[in-house]
Amino acid sequence: MKTQGIDLVLFIGQSNMAGRGIVSAQWPQEAPKLIEGAAWEYRAITTPDRLMPLEEPFGVDENKADGINDVFADQKKAKTGSLVTAFCNAYYEETGRVIVGVSASKGGSTITEWLPDDPLQTGYFKDMCHRVQMAEAYLHKEKIPIKRRFAVWSQGESDGDNGTTKDEYKVLFHSFWEALSEIVDELFLIKTGNCNMEGCHDRYIPIQTAQEEIAREEKNVFIVSRVFGGMLEKGLMKDAFHYYQHGYNICGNEAGKNVALYFTGRSKKERVVEGG
C-alpha cells in the first residue's frame, strides 16, 4: 500500500449512502465480506491515529454532535448496512487499487444542508472537509501516497419530499460541487430511486431529471448507477425510502464497476457513465 499508494474516497449524501440495509426472509443477503486488502476506513472521529479494515455498517460510529451526526432522535445508531463494501470490492476487482474510505453521510439531509456557506448551520460541509483533511494528513505522515481523490454521492429524496424543483436543485448542487471540487477531482453520482408510498411513486422525478442534466452539464460529475430506480417494482425497498441490504449490494457493485471502468479508460468517459 505504501509503494502503490491508495485512492481516497469520500462517501457522502443522505440515508441511502449512510445505509439502512436489513435482511428479510425474501432478501436474506447480507453485505459481502470485504476482499482482503481491498479497502480501509479512515475514522476521523473515533480512530484518527490508524486505518481500520473497512466493514459494515460503514461509518456507524463516525458521528459528531456539531457536524455529521447520523443518529436517531433517541440517539440510537442509524447506519445498519450500506453499499460501500460492495463498491470497494467491485472497484478493487477491476482496478487492483486500494480504497481508503471516509464516511460523511447524514440521513434526511437536503442539498441545502450540504452547502459550503452553511445557511442552516448544520456544520456538514465543514465537518466533511475536516475529515478529508485529517485523512490526508494521516496518510502523508505514514508516507502513503494518494493517487486519486473522488467522492461517491447519493442524495435527493429529502429534496423530493420537500418539493424542490429541478432548477432549484441544479442551482444548489452547482454551489455544492463548486466547493467540493476543491478537495476531490470527480463526483460519482448514484441516481435517486422512487418513493415507496401509495400515490407518491413519481415524487422524485424532478430530482431524477436534475441529476441527469447535472451529469451532462457539470464537469467531472458522472452518474454511475441508476438501479435504485427499478427496485420498487422488484420488491427491494424495505420502506418508503430505503432498500434491503441486497439492494444496496447490487447498487454498490454496479457503481464500483462503473467508476473502475471510467478510470481504466474502458468507458467512453461521457458525462453520464451508463448504469443499469
Domains present along the chain, CATH in parentheses: 6-263 (3.40.50.1110)
244 versus 267: which is more confidently predicted? 244
d(CA 94, CA 118): 37
Res 180: pLDDT:
98
Res 275: pLDDT:
46
Tell me what the mean pLDDT of segment 156-176 comes to: 98
Q: Which amino acid is at 265?
A: G
- 27-72 pLDDT, tens digit each: 999 999 999 999 999 999 999 999 999 999 999 999 999 999 999 9
Which residues contact residue 189 at a Cβ distance below 8 angstroms, ignoring those fewer than 6 apart? 153, 154, 211, 214, 215, 221, 222, 223, 224
For residue 95, give the C-alpha cell: 482496478
- Positive or negative, the CA dihedral 193, 197, 202, 206 is negative
- Positive or negative, the CA dihedral 41, 46, 50, 55 is negative
Q: 216 φ, ψ to 5°?
A: -85, -25
Indicate whether 272 pLDDT > 60.
no
Check: pTM over 0.75? Answer yes or no.
yes
Q: Starting at the edge strand that comes first in sequence, how are the strands of the sheet with 221-225 ordered?
A: 47-53, 39-43, 99-105, 6-13, 146-154, 186-190, 221-225
The residue ranges of DSSP E strands in the chain, in sequence order, are 6-13, 39-43, 47-53, 99-105, 146-154, 186-190, 221-225
Is-contact 274 212, C-beta < 8 A? no
Least confident of 33-37, 102-106, 220-224, 264-268: 264-268
Res 4: pLDDT:
84
Indicate whether 91 pLDDT > 50.
yes
Res 218: pLDDT:
96
Average pLDDT of the chain, as a whole number: 95
d(CA 130, CA 128): 5
Percent of the chain with pLDDT strictly greater than 70: 95
- 143-156 pLDDT, tens digit each: 999 999 999 999 99
- Positive or negative, the CA dihedral 207, 209, 211, 213 is negative
